Structure 1
Amino acid sequence: MSLTLSPLYGKSPTKKVECPFCGAKIEKPRELPVRKWGEMPVGSCTCGAVYACDVTGHNLGSAMVEALVFGCNMDWDLAWGLIPEEDYLEALVENYDYIDHVISVTGCVEGRKVNGALYFIRLHDDIQEVTRDGVRKILKKAEDIAKNSKKRSPKRKPLSKKEVEELVRNFRVDEILKVAKDDRKIVRNLMRLLYSVEDEYRMRAAEMLGIVTSVIAERNPGFVSKLLQNLFTAIIDSAASSWGAFEAIGEIISHKVEMFAGYIPHLYRFLPDEERRVSALQAIGKIAQVRPDLLNKLPLYLIPLLKDPDYRARGYAAWMLGYLGTEEIKEDLEGLFGDTRQIGIYRNGTLKMKTLDEIAREAIDRL
């Protein structure tokens, strides 16, 4: 490996990053197009080795798992069935600086302490024959995202808090979209409105947030992924679930489900929670409307909720089953016939109150 010196300090020798198996130069790890909680940037070498980047150097176990699963074309069952040395080789490259994509000799680059590491996995050739094409396709999608993130367009004047409030109030999606790419403050201004006690207004803010983040994700998926993580953390840490975190999560995922589907299972954890169940059902319901195929196991958990003590849970479970269920659940839905209690169904800027009777009949019609 050849040494280079920092152009600013002249005292931080670094090495180019090479594959520990074949010695070839490797590319900087990329963020995958499908985001999941805790996911690390990954890459692959021309020799077939794959690697995951732990920027802190403190999560090497997770990095090993990330690299192994990625090398198996995201097939967890295959990954867990493999045996070290017999099915794959491992190697660790330490003192990696993700920012400059170099190896630090001294553990410091331009005054920055470097603790990162690259965990390499090289599957044996017979396994690579099965997974190689899938790994390449995944990285190609990540490459397209990276290219899009470098594109620049003329910046527009940022919207003020007052302007954002008015656009949400009047549901002017077109005006919000005009500045979505360049006005990062718009996310913060929309987040403020998630605390509104006015249901329809809050839901409009959540939907607009989903629309805005779908645009931002094309260039910076990591930003949106971090936003989702913060929303989940806020729900877990807060005793109150009335604010719009769940609504925002549902809208963000549903507007870019191909990228953030990895977060869907984290919503399931709230279904056993009586205080958060209704909000979780509403969020999952947004996703069910656009990609019911991703929730094909959920009906097994929803059918018992048709008899939940909380009529709202019964209503939202029925609403969702209309997108996910089959003819076999018709009789279960008929159990809500005649129930005149109402819940709110939000769609395209409008919150409409419907009785459980109406929801059950509409769900049956969609089966």
Structure 2
Amino acid sequence: MSHPELAIIHTDLGPGTRIHSRFRPSTAPNTQLPLLVLLHGYPQNSSMYLDFVSQIPPEWDILIPDLPGYGQSTKPPSPDGSSRAHSKREWAKDIMDVVDAISEPGAASRKIIAYGHDRGGRLAYRMALDFPERVVGLAVLDIVPTSYVWNQMSIVNFNHAETLHSHHWIFLSSPSPLPETLINSNVDFYMRYTISSWLGTAQKNKSLNWVEKSIQPYTEPDGKGAARVTAACEDYRAGATIDLQNDLHDLDPFGHSTPKPFAKIPVLFLLSNSLQTRFDAYEIWESFCSPEKLRTHLIGPGGSASDTVGHFLVNEAPEEVESHTRDWLKEFWGET
């Protein structure tokens, strides 16, 4: 598939921190439309959206950053060992700084739609929570909030079934340099194993270009690949500590979050059959959103269908995800 023209933008945000982004400017400028910000997950990078972008109508400006420390972006760990630099709150500030950097000088603060898969989904909802005056739409792909995942890792929940499924949350958040050392001993194997274990049956054991583009940055020499492994571990360490505490305050799994934090904005929730079977995912997002503005869709066949769609919705079921996304954009932001 041919890709639209994407400008490469580098935004320096401080010592050691540079955000690499791809930007597709609108070919039919509409100043009333927000900026669509596409946020990737682990262990991917902005390349996961290359084909997706070509299916979004041309009047939309689209920003696709590599998350801090991922892909071609750089961000060092917190000097104090707290992992705060890779918390979703700090990442949200970083991405908003990028948005401001690409905006016209003197222009009003740009409104955005935060659209994220996996770790990018966690960043997207944190952006909506911390910048409610600027985030006018939210899309979360195949996640429930961080606090719900940790809460599900319990012997009372199907004998630790979620702990076994999400074992990488514990492994990657382990103290440095344990996971980094083990991963870097055979990084190609680890990344391929991880991606394969999350794929649906329809794409397992196939040679997939998007998989190669996901893995390549981690295998670069001269310490570059190792730095990305460290950044990913710092992301998960933040998820086990700072992000969890922030989510417990804002998205409490014990039913104390009032009023609904996303009630004022349109929310798109796309999920795989795997997430649906492990969590009361619809009910979770319904508890935080207005029913009039929440749109939910199960991607791919459910149940025991032979060609299932796994976790990587954008890459495994592109036509379905693109269609639901276009319909959502059209419904809430006019003709597209």
TM range, smaller chain = under 0.3
The structure number with the bigger radius of gyration is: 1
Q: When the two structures are superposed, what TM-score results if normalisation uses the length of structure 2? A: 0.26
Q: When the two structures are superposed, what TM-score results if normalisation uses the length of structure 1? A: 0.25
Of structures 1 and 2, the one with the larger relative CO (CA 8 A, separation 6+) is 2
> Which structure has more helix as a fraction of its residues?
1
